[in-house]
Structure 1
Amino acid sequence: MELDTKTPPYLTSDKSSFAYVSARDRWPVIITQAIDDLYRSVSECDSREKQDDGKKIIEELARLKYEVQHDRKLTPIKDDGGVDVAIYNSELEQLGTPSWFNIPWLYCECYLYRRLHTSFSLSTHWKNYDVFSRQKIKTFRSSRPAVLELAARYRDLVTQMGHDKGKADIDHDEAQKILFLEMCEICLWGNATDLSLLTSLTYEDIQKLQGSEARKASEKNILVNDLEAVYDVLRKAKHAGKKERRVDIVLDNAGFELYVDLILAGYLLSSGLATVVVLHPKSIPWFVSDVLPADFAALLSALADPKRFYETPSDDDKLQDKTPSPLSDKDVVDMSFLFQEWAHMHAEGQLIMRSNRFWTHPGSYWRLPSVEPDLYEDLKTSEVVIFKGDLNYRKLTGDAAWDPSTPFTEAIGPLGPNSGVNVLALRTCKADVVVGLKLGQDEEIRATEGGGGDSGARKWAWSGKWAVVSFSQGK
């Protein structure tokens, strides 16, 4: 805590904040969905011993939900052997053992998911169970139109880049830049399907958030866009002839968002803007939809056999007596192309998965240089470290109540200028904290319909409709 910004954090007691809404409305729903998922899995398993073990976890999750809804004091995390238990419990003690509705939002939300994980990790038969896995897969299935559109686009682009290799004229460089901007914006808006927020998405809702028309309509909603500066960094490294040019992506959500992250990673490698892309997933189930290494494997498996994945009726299809429409031959070829490209890159060591428990610590990334110096030194070797999504942005900025005109470079503290790390945040806004805006811009958007008006709440920043793409050149 002593390493964090002194700017006050958002609290779950602040009625004008999204923290207040999260604690009271979202968290009980998320725990209920976890209980429902586990109950279903328990009822489907044959082993009586495993069933009994699962029922104990269900009882624990029900108690956790009761604690949240009745604003009980947070209790220390049970020792499940995790290296982070002491970190969580020490910070809880420093906070004075507060209750759910009067505590820094960032700490409390991380604590919630760490508590969920403890119930599974202390069990006998459910240690590695991801209670959110079904939701992730369901959302990726529901993203079918956008998945197919991007697969076709990606295949065309990579094929074209293969033909254009060796060209170095000004027009070609400008085309590369435009393509880079488009790929990053696709990657940005993939975050619009965050499962921890959109807990009741319909198939139609998902389609509205994805696809090329939606992206074009959303460009005007990017309030800060530093992508051109990022492109210049990567282009200069390439033209300087650096042998290894690494880009890191600190991942956010699985499913469609991981898919667009891989689209960006594959593009960076195919275009020569990077020679290695390191992906940083979470180590434990986190914020409902965050990427685990197993989600990467599941995505590749779906691409390897797209007909089985998309044409096999889901449980919802069976309930509604629906049969998914078959994929076209071209769809199958496009998806297979992606699988072969990404599987080859992974096998060749160009596309790397690297977990670190730091990403599921309770605190801000202001602590990174002191708390996890090896990870910090490793990130310094990257040309650009891309932090995806809302939670990473909250952690970069300490989830603090900054004035929105505060420069991004200031709000990320030790990861800012002279840190040795080039930081790019790709974030659709789903929380109160926002920095880097022009003077008066926050008030201007608050005055629009649904923006918050005179309520004192920055409601415009809760919906995922607006985005910021912020860059700090730390080298």
Structure 2
Amino acid sequence: MRYTDQQQSASGTSEDWGSPLISDFDVFKEEKVHNFFESQQAIILMSTYLQDILKNVEKLDENLLKKEFFKLLQVSLWGNKCDLSLSAGADSSQKSDPLQSVEELKPFILVDHMEKLWSLLINKKNMNKQTTRLDIVLDNAGFELTTDLILADFLLSSKLATEIHFHGKSIPWYVSDTTRRDLNWTIKQMQSANHKGMSRCGVCWEGYLKNGVWIYHDHLFWTSPHEYCRMAQVAPDLYSELQKSNLIIFKGDLNYRKLIADRKWEFTVPFHQALNTFHPAPLCSLRTLKCDIQVGLKPGQGEQLTNTEPDWMIIGKYGIIQFDAAS
């Protein structure tokens, strides 16, 4: 069976289901809204930090630009800790200063390919490419989504990317998964906030969407049972779209599971091998570990963690920034 744009339209999305009551209903909405508002102090800190960077972003030399990219990338990674599926209904909001936490959490990044991402993006920028497209396959709404949008704004404003494509769910699906409604709601909340930094972000982000430098996509494939190595066969339109990207960032644990087909590989199996022919473009997984699969570790690394902390794979304490060059 193939999932195409035509099938998606015929089947309906969250915007055009037959009943207006169903189309407006998201069983997880209350939890998503709670996560956003309970994380508001952290969002204010991040918004203020971004606005301060953007005042002088064109004057930053490569070393400073790299430093800010690494910092915001790690904030986006650890934003994945705010996952309602992990919290079992408990408060999963961001309470601490995410910027202050970056250095504290760095030892818990088990695979760190930030340098490879930087090399790819800065080389594209220095080549004066007319278009550098970056795609982000989203995970959770709430605080995590705001960290993704802040990263995307920085990438666009610094010209490390010239257009950003976001991929979300076409229907409310797995707890706090992002839909188009969540994206639009978040931007509206940012716009209407009393805090100047948040408001400026919201106004700017709405402008990006209207100007077409931020584009939101949804597709039924993302809520299908298929592993991603099957995408070219069952959703060739989506695979072709991703092939246009210069870099795809996959957020979160479930995306990682589907990237490597939810198989319990040996820890040292290369990421490229575990992707099993899914190579539409260079890609990176930003993930905090919440299930018992992981590849691309150094010899003995996984076993040592198992000996010292048996639950290391499922508690969301550790993260990865894992890159595959596609070729």
Report how far residue 141 of structure 1 moved.
Answer: 0.5
How far does the alpha carbon of each residue in 1:373-394 deviate from its partner, in whole angstroms, 9 at most, with x for none?
Answer: 1211211111100000000000
What's 1:392 paired with? 255
Match of 1:263 among 142, 145, 150: 150
Partner of 1:445: 305
Mapped to 2, the partners of 1:82 and 1:399 lie a distance apart of 27
Match of 1:187 in 2: 76
Q: What are the residue-to-residue correspondences of 1:188-227 with 2, within 5 Å?
A: 188-202=77-91, 206-208=94-96, 211-227=98-114
Question: How far has the Cα of 1:265 moved from its partner?
Answer: 0.5
Aligned-residue CA RMSD (Å): 2.0
Q: Cα offset for 1:335?
A: 1.2
1:351 partner letter:
W
How far did residue 187 of structure 1 move? 0.6
Deviation (angstroms), 1:123: 6.6
TM-score (structure 1 length as normaliser): 0.64
Q: Does the aligned pair in 2 maintain the 1:145–1:211 contact within 8 Å?
A: no
The normalised TM-score by structure 2 is: 0.92
Using the alignment, how far apart are the partners of 1:186 and 1:144 within structure 2?
A: 15
User: What are the within-5 Å matches in structure 2 for residues 19-418 of structure 1?
Assistant: 82=11, 125-162=21-58, 164=59, 172-202=61-91, 206-208=94-96, 211-307=98-194, 332-415=195-278
Identity of aligned residues (%): 35
2:312 pairs with 1:460: yes
Q: Which has the larger radius of gyration?
A: 1
Q: Distance in 1 between matches of 2:27 and 2:280?
A: 38
Query: Residue 368 of structure 1: SS of its match in structure 2?
Result: helix
Query: Do the aligned residues in 2 keep the contact of 1:191 with 1:427 (CA within 8 Å)?
Result: yes
Distance 1:272 1:402 in 2: 38
Distance 2:197 2:28 in 1: 28
Matched residues in 2 for 1:411 and 1:351: separation? Answer: 31
Unaligned runs of 5+ in 2: 2-9
Partner of 1:11: none
Letter in 2 for 1:181: F
Q: Distance in 2 between matches of 1:242 and 1:270?
A: 15
Aligned length: 317
Q: Give the structure 2 partner of residue 469 of structure 1.
A: 321
Separation in 1, partners of 2:191, 2:44: 14
User: Secondary structure of 1:438's partner?
Assistant: coil
Tell me the equivalent position of 2:290: 430
Structure 1 gaps, min length 5: 2-80, 85-116, 308-331, 453-458
Return the alpha-carbon distance in structure 2 between the equivalents of residues 377 and 343 of structure 1. Answer: 27
Q: Which amino acid aligns with 1:273?
A: L
- Checking the alignment, whether the CA contact within 8 Å between 1:382 and 1:421 is kept in structure 2 is yes
Q: Closer, same or farther in 2 for the Cα pair 1:447/1:122, shift >3 Å?
A: farther
Q: In structure 2, the residue corresponding to 1:126 is in which secondary structure?
A: helix
Output the amino acid matched with 2:177.
Answer: D
User: Residues 296 and 178 of structure 1: is their aligned pair in 2 closer, same or farther, counting only changes over 3 Å?
Assistant: same
User: 1:372 Cα shift?
Assistant: 1.3
Whole-angstrom CA distance in 2 between matches of 1:414 and 1:82? 29
Deviations 1:81-123 (A, max 9, x none): 7499xxxxxxxxxxxxxxxxxxxxxxxxxxxxxxxx9xxx787
Q: CA deviation at 1:124?
A: 7.4
More strand by share: 2
Using the alignment, how far apart are the partners of 1:275 and 1:299 within structure 2? 22
Deviation at 1:409, TM superposition (A): 0.8
Give the letter for the 2:323 counterpart.
F
* Deviation of 1:211 (Å): 2.0
Q: Classify the secondary structure of the residue corresponding to 1:149.
A: helix
Separation of aligned partners in 2, 1:201 and 1:352: 33
Rate the CA distance shift 1:122–1:335 in 2: closer, same or farther, 3 A: closer
CA distance in 2 between partners of 1:381 and 1:441 (Å): 35
Deviation, 1:241, is 1.6
Query: Could you report, residue by residue, the CA deviation over 1:180-238 in whole angstroms, capped at 9, with x for unpaired residues?
Result: 111110110000001111123347x7414x52222221110000011111111111111
Q: Is the 8 A contact 2:71 2:102 kept in 1?
A: no
Deviation at 1:240, TM superposition (A): 1.2
8 Å Cα contact 1:369-1:414 kept in structure 2: no
